[in-house]
Amino acid sequence: MTFLRTASSIAAFVLPLALASCGGGSTPPVDAAGGVDAPAVATDTGPSDVDSGPSPCAYVDTIDRACTTDADCLVRLHQTDCCGSSAMIGIAMSALGTYNAGEPACMASYPGCGCPAQLPTTDSGETVTDTSAVLAACVSRGPRNVCLTYVTMRPLPGR
């Protein structure tokens, strides 16, 4: 009886840790510069060690999304966990250099964890089966416009 109680206690402790280690990234709101949060995107802080400073994936939370028209926006793939899951994010054309410098370092920071990748998601919350179908829109968010991705549900202007 003691063995079963101990084994179940260990399983109750280890299983949540194992699940959290793959895909355990957070989904913080993206600050659209100027203090107005864009909708939460499927981003994360990536793997990090308390002593090693910020994660290489933290760049995505500060990337420029400001726009005037849809033509100012690009769609880019951002890895969100060690399984290889990703988010299709909208960025301003002016942020392409930041993305090109930051995303390879973010991807390299994830150890392979052997779990299956989830389908990519868009800023609008849609699941993507064909990444070539993802579009970017310049959408009003408070006092400014930001680039957001979608497939069929163009994000509505809002907060």
Burial 88-112 (b: 16+ CB within 10 A, else e): bbbbbeebeebbeebbeebbebbee
Of 76, 71, 73, nearest to 59 by C-alpha is 76
Which pLDDT belongs to residue 38? 42
For residue 99, give both structure tokens. Answer: 């993305």
Pair 105, 46: CB distance under 8 Å: no
**Single pTM value for the model:** 0.67
pLDDT, greater one: 99 or 157? 99
Cβ partners under 8 Å of residue 63, min gap 6: 30, 89, 91, 95, 98, 99, 102
| Domain residue ranges of the chain, discontinuous segments joined by + | 25-150
Which helix (H) or strand (E) element contains residue 140?
A: strand 135-141
Which pLDDT belongs to residue 146? 97
Would you call 80 helix, strand, or coil by DSSP? coil
Which pLDDT belongs to residue 79? 96
Sheet holding 121-122, edge to edge: 73-79, 86-92, 121-122
For residue 62, give both structure tokens. Answer: 């500060």
pLDDT digits (tens, 9 = 90+) for 96-153: 999 999 999 999 999 888 899 999 999 999 999 999 999 999 999 989 999 999 999 8
pLDDT digits (tens, 9 = 90+) for 23-79: 333 333 333 333 334 444 444 444 444 446 688 999 999 999 999 999 999 999 999
Question: Cα dihedral sign for 8, 14, 17, 23?
Answer: negative
